[in-house]
């Protein structure tokens, strides 16, 4: 009887609360779709600043822009958090040329980009025979042929995965570790098929890592048409290639996370973080990666101020430095949080592109996931009710790792992402305004619910 | 006890069947993502033929192309179904110019497109004062001011609807009926704010209808920048505009539906139809509208042949004529089906753009919807498990209306559609290959399930 009584008293209470929440979330949505600034902010960031690799003058410019915009949006305070970042530079345009085919001199240029954090050839051509392999297993079988050669990995981006991120994870091993795996057997450089199934020939850069035990040889990505062409030639003929790359590291340099706060009215020393990464690759405008995460973060601040929402917890809007080739900004943020014994109840990131949102990937225990799932019906009208265990984004993971902070990441539709990811086509024109704003709506809704009910 | 027995014998049976289905649908998906031809076929249709309004030479070219391609894909038979279609022609480029502002001569061109099925000004300029109204209610209030003027409807495309199709439905009344509503009070022409919230200035055409009781005055759509500009000026100043449109009707002409069949092995006189519309507007390539529906239809035929699937029912792959400005192809198809007493168990259409699919809109009774919902878990891995009551597409609706055929329509993500819908930006480059193919995967899966289990 008691239980029944509880049932009848609690259910209407929950219903009323959810109705209030649904009304407030509709206000968030209406305000964002009517007055949203994310799209204009993205135009500023991509068109006025453009590519902004950590350590570059463009990144410093983006930091100033971000600070000023967050101040204009009415944050209680905005500050910069200094961190040292790797200072990798591409230098002049890299060149990859097929110079000889079966002993005959030719001159076929291939579309290529040095991988991020790779060392170049000091601007001098490296000319060598090519050994084309499909994967590491073929490399191992043919390791005795590798010495003095350029290894070309043509591992395909599997089109049959419905979630293309899975193909990216799989083929990513060649970009990340291909150079040292080949250098171990005496290779002088590597070429990697770009991690994409785009219908164009744009090469896709991205970070790579050397194993310090082996020589740090140049590593470059090839566009798909040219990867296919090279594969056709090099798998049955003797091919010489000339690679010239100017990539190098300068000494580590200073960069900054940009942090804005809305002070909590009840639990001002408990933090909810939302953010994206301000840095991008140098060869594009960093529109989907991760300009959209940056301006969605700003949009959430804007809409909460516009609706005169007073958060219970302190909300932090963070533009992280150096996600692409070092993670130094995110690590710094987590270190400082730990050093100051900050209590972080939740951290949310958007770094999967500004496409139509489908849900949130949740990095937290099952009890908290169950709590978030009770809000699925509130997010469903906005298309974002896929709420499943998964990782948070790269920039909130250090908080989770160091301080067990529950984390999450926006999960937009993934079909188009790897067509433009880390390629020159990641530009403002490829972002759709409504898709971008709808992501901000759902992120703001989740922040609101967690701020109101805790986690 | 008996019930329990039934439970334990039926459940494993269903589980085994669903497992077989899941394996077959995975084969469909893998084959489409590996060997799919839809994207290449779309390139042919959009780049080699382009815009193809019913009655135009381009439409006739598209019919030949469609017939040949369906034959190449291995249909058991392919035939043309003749129908008469309206033959509307735009003629030379329309002109809309602001010629006078508060008595001062000026010359500001506005981006405009004659609406489909509108009559032009016979190529001679109509010059008149503008009356700018937000909606029909304002028109009615100011009806005494309308005589001899050009009415400009600036009804906005509501950005707060999460499903933009809702805004299209609402503002569509101005495009469809605005001319006669204004002609009733003596207007000499109408300008309509384009049905879009695109971030560009492209005007969006689309069909309109006259009420025969009133003069058939010219009706044109304005791009959004120019609609905003005209609204700013015309709401507080006297503005004259000159409109020149060459639009007219020629006598009705012959066109064709293209129909391909895979003969049923068990119920060859029971039909399952899948299709899209082959015609498009004249000002673009008809890529999303509805080139994608056409090539998805072809892709389903391709994959079923490739997997050597022998359907129980006769499958019909139909490229409908004249959806945009007459519906004559779809009406003809349904009339013929009725005249020959054909038994149609299901008809599916794709005419909402080739974006990432989210589900199917189902036009059928609740019992059949419940049956389809039992397959939600089979479609979920492909993102298409939103299975709700709704209409079928325009081209299958006559079957439903005349013969109570259960119908459905693919429901892709809707956020980008109205940015390009009926505008010059509806081109091949704005279609994403994976999104297009994923639609075909889900359509093929649904056709397979209905063919196997009936409906």
Specify whether B278 is located in the same domain as B307: yes
Spatial distance between the Cα atoms of A274 and B42, rounded to a whole number of angstroms: 41
Contact B326, B386 (CB under 8 A): no
A39 Cβ under 8 Å from any chain B Cβ: yes
A383 Cβ under 8 Å from any chain B Cβ: yes
- Are the beta carbons of B434 and A413 separated by less than 8 Å? no
The closest CB to that of B160, out of A30, A383, A433, belongs to: A30
Residues B172-212 pLDDT 10s: 999 999 999 999 999 999 999 999 999 999 999 999 999 99
A320 within a domain of the structure (yes/no)? yes
A235 within a domain of the structure (yes/no)? yes
CA of B438 to nearest chain A CA: how many angstroms apart? Answer: 8
Active site residues of B: 323
Residues B112-138 pLDDT 10s: 999 999 999 999 999 999 999 999 999
Of the candidates A246, A275, A293, which is a domain's last residue?
A246
Could you list the beta-strand ranges (E) of A134-238.
150-153, 189-193, 219-222
Contact A436, A38 (CB under 8 A): yes
CA of B18 to nearest chain A CA: how many angstroms apart? Answer: 19
Task: Report pLDDT for A266.
Answer: 98
The closest CB to that of A416, out of B29, B199, B432, belongs to: B432
Sheet holding A126-133, edge to edge: A104-110, A95-101, A239-244, A126-133, A150-153, A189-193, A219-222, A112-114
In this structure, the strands spanning B248-262 and B313-320 are: antiparallel
Q: Which of A33, A159, A445 to mutate to test the interface with B (most CBs of B within 10 A)?
A: A159
Collapsed DSSP state (helix, strand, coil) of residue A384? coil
Contact A320, A395 (CB under 8 A): yes
Q: Which of B46, B160, B287, B415 to mutate to test the interface with A (most CBs of A within 10 A)?
A: B415
Residues B134-171 pLDDT 10s: 999 999 999 999 999 999 999 999 999 999 999 999 99
Task: Report pLDDT for B3.
Answer: 44
- Are the beta carbons of B159 and A434 separated by less than 8 Å? yes
Spatial distance between the Cα atoms of A37 and A47, rounded to a whole number of angstroms: 15
Q: For each successive 10 residues of chain A (455 residues), what is the average pLDDT?
A: 47 74 98 98 98 98 98 98 98 98 96 98 97 98 98 98 97 98 98 98 98 98 98 96 98 98 98 98 98 98 98 98 97 98 98 98 98 98 96 94 97 98 98 98 98 97
B164 within a domain of the structure (yes/no)? yes
Specify whether B257 is located in the same domain as B395: yes
A343 Cβ under 8 Å from any chain B Cβ: no
> Residue B211 belongs to what domain range?
91-246
A66 within a domain of the structure (yes/no)? yes
Contacts of A160 in chain B (CB under 8 A): 29-30, 33-34
Residues B330-360 pLDDT 10s: 999 999 999 999 999 999 999 999 999 999 9
pLDDT at B7 over 50: no
The closest CB to that of B159, out of A33, A162, A197, belongs to: A33
Specify whether A199 is located in the same domain as A325: no
Spatial distance between the Cα atoms of A95 and A415, rounded to a whole number of angstroms: 31
Of the candidates A231, A246, A261, which is a domain's last residue?
A246
Contacts of A438 in chain B (CB under 8 A): 162, 415
A82 Cβ under 8 Å from any chain B Cβ: no
The closest CB to that of A162, out of B159, B383, B432, belongs to: B383
B192 within a domain of the structure (yes/no)? yes
Collapsed DSSP state (helix, strand, coil) of residue A330? helix
Q: Residue A189 maps to which CATH number?
A: 3.50.30.30
- In this predicted complex, what is the ipTM? 0.95
A356 Cβ under 8 Å from any chain B Cβ: yes
CA of A161 to nearest chain B CA: how many angstroms apart? Answer: 8
Specify whether A206 is located in the same domain as A64: no
Task: Indicate the helix (H) or strand (E) that contains A258.
Answer: strand A248-262
Task: Report pLDDT for B14.
Answer: 66
A438 Cβ under 8 Å from any chain B Cβ: yes
Catalytic, out of A299, A323, A349, A409: A323
Task: Report pLDDT for A14.
Answer: 67
Contact B304, B298 (CB under 8 A): no
Specify whether B204 is located in the same domain as B222: yes
Contacts of B382 in chain A (CB under 8 A): 162
Pick from A21, A38, A19: which is nearest to A439 by CA? Answer: A38
A159 Cβ under 8 Å from any chain B Cβ: yes
pTM: 0.95
Specify whether A45 is located in the same domain as A172: no
A9 within a domain of the structure (yes/no)? no
Specify whether A441 is located in the same domain as A369: yes
B418 Cβ under 8 Å from any chain A Cβ: no
Share of chain B above pLDDT 90, in %: 95
Collapsed DSSP state (helix, strand, coil) of residue B362? strand
B200 Cβ under 8 Å from any chain A Cβ: no
Specify whether A61 is located in the same domain as A77: yes
Q: Do you find a cis peptide bond into B427, omega within 30 degrees of 0?
A: no
- Are the beta carbons of B34 and A160 separated by less than 8 Å? yes
Pick from A37, A33, A34, A26: which is nearest to A380 by CA? Answer: A26
A11 within a domain of the structure (yes/no)? no
B1 within a domain of the structure (yes/no)? no
- Are the beta carbons of A381 and B162 separated by less than 8 Å? yes
- Are the beta carbons of A356 and B415 separated by less than 8 Å? yes
Specify whether A241 is located in the same domain as A282: no
- Please report, to the nearest 10 degrees, the dihedral formed by the alpha carbons of residues B410, B415, B419, B424 taken in order: -30
CA of A415 to nearest chain B CA: how many angstroms apart? Answer: 6
What is the total count of domains within chain B? 2
pLDDT at B4 over 60: no
Query: Of how many residues is chain A composed?
Result: 455
Specify whether B139 is located in the same domain as B120: yes
Task: Report pLDDT for A263.
Answer: 98
Specify whether A192 is located in the same domain as A270: no
B156 Cβ under 8 Å from any chain A Cβ: no
Task: Report pLDDT for B15.
Answer: 73
CA of B416 to nearest chain A CA: how many angstroms apart? Answer: 7
| Closest chain A residue by Cα to residue B28 | A160
Q: Residue A445 maps to which CATH number?
A: 3.40.630.10
A156 Cβ under 8 Å from any chain B Cβ: no
Spatial distance between the Cα atoms of B223 and A168, rounded to a whole number of angstroms: 40
Specify whether B82 is located in the same domain as B95: no
Phi, psi angle pair for B358, to nearest 5°: -115, -20
CA of B434 to nearest chain A CA: how many angstroms apart? Answer: 6
Collapsed DSSP state (helix, strand, coil) of residue B208? coil
A323 catalytic residue (yes or no): yes
B454 Cβ under 8 Å from any chain A Cβ: no
Of the candidates B246, B281, B310, which is a domain's last residue?
B246
């Amino acid at each position: 009887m008691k239980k029944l009584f509880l049932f009848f008293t609690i259910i209407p209470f929950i219903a009323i609360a959810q109705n209030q929440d649904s009304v407030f979330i509709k206000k968030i949505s209406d305000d964002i779709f009517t007055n949203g600034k994310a799209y204009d902010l993205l135009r500023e960031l991509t068109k006025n600043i453009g590519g902004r690799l950590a350590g570059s003058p463009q990144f410093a410019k983006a930091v100033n822009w971000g600070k000023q915009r967050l101040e204009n949006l009415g944050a209680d305070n905005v500050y910069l958090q200094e961190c040292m970042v790797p200072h990798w530079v591409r230098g002049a345009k890299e060149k990859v040329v097929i110079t000889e085919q079966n002993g005959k001199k030719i001159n076929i240029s291939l579309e290529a980009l040095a991988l991020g954090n790779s060392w170049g050839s000091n601007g001098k051509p490296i000319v060598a025979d090519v050994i084309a392999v499909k994967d590491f297993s073929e490399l191992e079988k043919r390791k005795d042929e590798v010495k003095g050669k350029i290894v070309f990995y043509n591992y395909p981006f599997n089109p049959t995965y419905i979630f293309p991120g899975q193909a990216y994870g799989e083929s990513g091993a060649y970009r990340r570790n291909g150079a040292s795996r080949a250098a171990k057997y005496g290779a002088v450089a590597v070429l990697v098929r770009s991690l994409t199934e785009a219908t164009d020939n744009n090469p896709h850069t991205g970070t790579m890592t050397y194993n310090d035990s082996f020589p740090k040889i140049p590593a470059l990505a090839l566009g798909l048409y040219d990867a296919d062409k090279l594969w056709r030639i090099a798998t049955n003929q003797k091919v010489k290639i000339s690679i010239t790359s100017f990539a190098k590291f300068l000494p580590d340099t200073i960069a900054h996370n940009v942090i804005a706060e809305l002070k909590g009215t009840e639990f001002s020393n408990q933090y909810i973080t939302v953010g994206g990464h301000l840095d991008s690759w140098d060869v594009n405008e960093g529109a989907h990666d991760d300009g959209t995460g940056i301006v969605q973060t700003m949009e959430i601040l804007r809409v909460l101020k516009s609706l005169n929402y007073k958060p219970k917890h302190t909300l932090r809007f963070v533009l992280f430095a150096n996600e692409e080739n070092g993670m130094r900004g995110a690590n710094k943020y987590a270190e400082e949080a730990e050093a100051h014994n900050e209590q972080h109840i939740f951290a949310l990131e958007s770094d999967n592109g500004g496409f139509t949102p489908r849900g949130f990937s949740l990095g937290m225990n099952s009890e908290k996931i169950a709590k978030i799932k009770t809000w699925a019906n509130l997010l469903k009208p906005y298309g974002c009710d896929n709420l499943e265990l998964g990782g948070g984004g790269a920039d909130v993971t250090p908080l989770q790792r160091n301080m067990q902070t529950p984390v999450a990441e926006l999960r937009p539709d993934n079909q188009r992402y790897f067509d433009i990811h880390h390629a020159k086509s990641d530009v403002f024109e490829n972002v759709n305004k409504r898709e971008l704003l709808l992501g901000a709506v759902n992120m703001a809704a989740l922040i609101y619910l967690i701020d109101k009910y805790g986690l």
